[in-house]
């Protein structure tokens, strides 16, 4: 089984996709607009042709999918229930990623030493995605 994060935006997926591609130095696995679909008998409305139907980034062993909503569909700018955790990185990489994700976003917990990590911080980026950046550490009693 593999879990894949799926980010949905309201017309600015291309901007978000490029942002995360740069932040993570990710490999593009493809990008397709609604206008590039070839559904026989379906006339694509002009206002959605440039929106992203599906895009994919490979970040290490992880994958993130991206898509735009259809115009007029309900859309929440921010979700406080889920955040993406980044771990198994060295402190210099944690600091680099945290700084990049923080630009235009809101730091909810600055990078700091905690009982579970020598370097941990949380941020909501400029697209409303929550991130937790953490350097792994041995935690007594946790296996």
Q: What is the pLDDT of residue 11?
A: 92
CATH 3.30.720.110 placement within the chain: 83-134
CATH 3.30.720.100 placement within the chain: 5-68
| Phi-psi sector, 72: left (phi>0), alpha (psi -120 to 50), beta | left
Q: What is the pLDDT of residue 72?
A: 72
- Convert the pLDDT of each residue in 37-95 to its tens digit: 877 777 778 888 999 999 999 999 999 999 999 877 676 776 778 899 999 899 999 99
On whether the 83-134 domain is CATH 3.30.720.110, my answer is yes
Tell me how far CA of residue 101 lies from CA of 30, 71, 92, 129, in angstroms: 22, 27, 14, 9
Name the more confident of 137 and 46. 46
Fold of 5-68: 3.30.720
Task: Specify the pTM.
Answer: 0.88
Q: Which H or E run includes 124? A: strand 120-124
Tell which residue, 85, 89, 12, 25, has the closest CA to residue 59.
25
- Convert the pLDDT of each residue in 53-62 to its tens digit: 999 999 999 9
Per-position DSSP letters for 104-115, written without gaps between them: TSEEEEEEE--S
């Amino acid at each position: 089984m593999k879990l894949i994060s799926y980010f949905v935006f309201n017309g600015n997926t291309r901007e978000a996709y490029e942002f995360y591609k740069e932040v993570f130095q990710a490999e593009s696995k493809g990008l397709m607009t609604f206008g590039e679909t070839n559904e026989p008998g379906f006339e694509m409305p002009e206002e959605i042709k440039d929106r992203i139907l599906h895009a994919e980034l490979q970040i290490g062993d992880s994958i993130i999918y991206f898509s735009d909503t259809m115009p007029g569909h309900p859309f929440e700018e921010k979700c406080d229930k889920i955040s993406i955790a980044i771990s198994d990185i060295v402190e210099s990489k944690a600091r680099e990623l945290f700084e990049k994700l923080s630009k235009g976003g809101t730091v909810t917990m600055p990078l700091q030493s905690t009982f579970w990590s020598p370097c941990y911080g949380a941020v909501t980026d400029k697209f409303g995605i929550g991130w937790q950046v953490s350097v792994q550490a041995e935690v007594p009693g946790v296996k």
